[in-house]
Amino acid sequence: MTFSLSTDSARGWGSAALRAAGWLEWLLMGLMLAALWMPDFNRVWALLLAVPMLGIRVLRYRRLWPRTPLDVLALALLALLALSALTMPFRQGVAVLAGPGGEVRVPYEIIVIGRPLFGVLLMTSLIEAARRAGSMHSLLWASVALGVVLGLLGLFAAQYTEKSDALQPIVSLLPAIRWFPGAEGVFNVNEIAGGMAWFTPLMAGIAIWAWREVASGAGRRQAALASVASLAFALLWAALFLGQRRSAIIGVLPGLLALSLLLRGRWRVAAVAFVVLFAGAQIALLIGPRTTPGDALQQRDAASASSRVLIWQSALAIIRDHPLTGAGMNNFRAPVVRAAYPVAGYAQRVLPHAHNEIVQLGVDFGLPGVLLWLLGAALVTRMLWQAWRAGLPTARPLLLGVAAGLAAHALYGLGDAIPLWDRQAFGLWWMLGLAGALWLLRQVVAGDNLRIRTTPSLDKQVKYTEFVFSVMIARRRGARS
């Protein structure tokens, strides 16, 4: 049984007001994202926009967000944030912010929790948007737009290192973007690779789904979506490969291979050949002739691996000494923590994170942080599997794109990290929001708007049954009379 998920019964001005409130919510989300992207601590004031946004949700939806298994993850994170703020053994003092009446001093913990709180709001907004529309179409367009922006930044605004020396004839031809807000210099290629690991398989999944719809006779909108998603994938993959962030490439390639197997005929052969070709090229770059004099790149790789071991030892020492609290939120980089748990070679350098996302959560929250990661992985895996089994085959490229993106970043996160406090952490919440939306609206029906078919709730089934019986009784009474 198919039915509309929209419950707005207002008409005229009331309906228009509700629609305007929906657009206002997304405007507020965009303003918060733009503010929280910036390194300036004054970004925390943007969280005040959450107050009217949550008010709009209550007025428009009669709730704060739709229920999904991800609620457990969100509530567990919020509890850990509050607990860490109270019990963290190391403190970074206060931050001085610009207020309407002059300087305002707030604890550093308030600054730190801003991005995770926004992430929870973003995740729930994506799920609510899909539920209200009964469609994933707008979310797919938004995802593709983000993919294009991230691909352009990864390709033209990244700081290429010695790892890309063999590809320098291509890299040297690329124009440079140095004006993007919040990164007026350049992006660290390792940092932005973590974001691209999420979105590269996702773009491939959206492109496969959209091109299938076009082949089935869908309209121009699907053709446009397919074209832009393909462009986003090309930009992201080119940026990953030219930047030579190996952990991200190793994470992305298996997902692309899995997505290739969803194709048919010559397209499957071409996609598998693409994956095999670039896997071979990556191996050749790793073991082939060195272009850097004196095997400097090989020495740099060895030094990088050695330094990671030292970083992990320092992080594990923190978890051992503080198993229930860790060092506190974003405190791995704090000078007092660096002095207590030094890492050779980093006495005068900033060490932003533990270069492993599971270990980083342990440093931030202690063992409860590690349990949080395991809980999130288990919940999302179960949700995507349920959606895979319940949904129609046409939805599987989307489900596999989300799953492959999360898995690719998980592999990247074994040797590097985008902590919850990083500006690019919004990518995690975006992927979780898409996973929650696909789970909530499980049965995807092929069509121009990616309409969702869902099982009606128990009360609707009861009302429908009562209606059927009332009609049958009325007909029998009419026949007797």
What single string gives the DSSP state of each residue in 312-381? HHHHHHHHHH-TTT-S-TT-TTSHHHHHHS--TT-SSS---S-SSHHHHHHHHHSHHHHHHHHHHHHHHH
In whole angstroms, give the CA distance from residue 267 to residue 263.
6
Pick the more confident residue, 174 or 460. Answer: 174
Task: For tokens 């350098």, name the residue.
Answer: 349
Other beta carbons less than 10 A from residue 167's beta carbon: 17
Question: Average of pLDDT values for 6-15?
Answer: 42
In whole angstroms, give the CA distance from residue 222 to residue 142.
14
Question: Average of pLDDT values for 132-155?
Answer: 92
- At a CB cut-off of 8 Å and minimum separation 6, what does 74 contact? 120, 123, 124
Furthest C-alpha separation in the chain: 103
- Sign of the C-alpha dihedral computed for residues 338, 343, 349 and 352 taken in this order: negative
**CB–CB of 431/439 below 8 Å?**
no
In whole angstroms, give the CA distance from residue 130 to residue 205.
18
In whole angstroms, give the CA distance from residue 192 to residue 240.
9
pLDDT attached to residue 441: 84
- At a CB cut-off of 8 Å and minimum separation 6, what does 202 contact? 143, 147, 401, 402, 404, 405, 431, 434
The answer to which of 23-27, 125-129, 278-282, 290-294 has the lowest mean pLDDT is 290-294
pLDDT attached to residue 435: 96
pLDDT attached to residue 445: 38
pLDDT attached to residue 120: 95
pTM, entire model: 0.86
| Share in percent of the chain as helix, strand, coil (round to 5) | 70, 5, 25
pLDDT digits (tens, 9 = 90+) for 223-256: 999 999 999 999 999 999 999 888 899 999 999 9
Question: Average of pLDDT values for 131-135?
Answer: 83
Residue 461 has pLDDT above 50, yes or no: no
Residue 220 is encoded by which pair of tokens? 């121009």
Selection from 212, 160, 168, 232 nearest residue 189 by Cα? 160
- At a CB cut-off of 8 Å and minimum separation 6, what does 393 contact? none
Pick the more confident residue, 293 or 5. Answer: 293
pLDDT attached to residue 463: 47
Residue 12 has pLDDT above 70, yes or no: no
pLDDT attached to residue 369: 96
Quote the crossing angle between the two packed helices 189-215 and 426-440, to the nearest 10°: 30
DSSP bridge partners of 376: none
The answer to which of 54-68, 293-307, 317-331 has the lowest mean pLDDT is 293-307
Of all residues in the chain, what percent carry a pLDDT higher than 70? 83
pLDDT attached to residue 22: 72
In whole angstroms, give the CA distance from residue 243 to residue 285.
12
The answer to which of 88-92, 299-303, 353-357 has the lowest mean pLDDT is 299-303
**CB–CB of 128/57 below 8 Å?**
yes
pLDDT attached to residue 464: 43
Pick the more confident residue, 474 or 175. Answer: 175
In whole angstroms, give the CA distance from residue 435 to residue 440.
9
Question: Average of pLDDT values for 326-346?
Answer: 92
Pick the more confident residue, 414 or 183. Answer: 414
Residue 391 has pLDDT above 80, yes or no: no
Residue 328 has pLDDT above 60, yes or no: yes
Question: How does the average pLDDT of the chain come out, rounded?
Answer: 84
Question: Average of pLDDT values for 80-97?
Answer: 92
Task: Give residue 390's pLDDT band: very low, low, confident or very high (50, 70, 90).
Answer: confident
The answer to which of 181-190, 317-326, 399-408, 410-419 has the lowest mean pLDDT is 181-190
Selection from 239, 251, 192 nearest residue 422 by Cα? 192
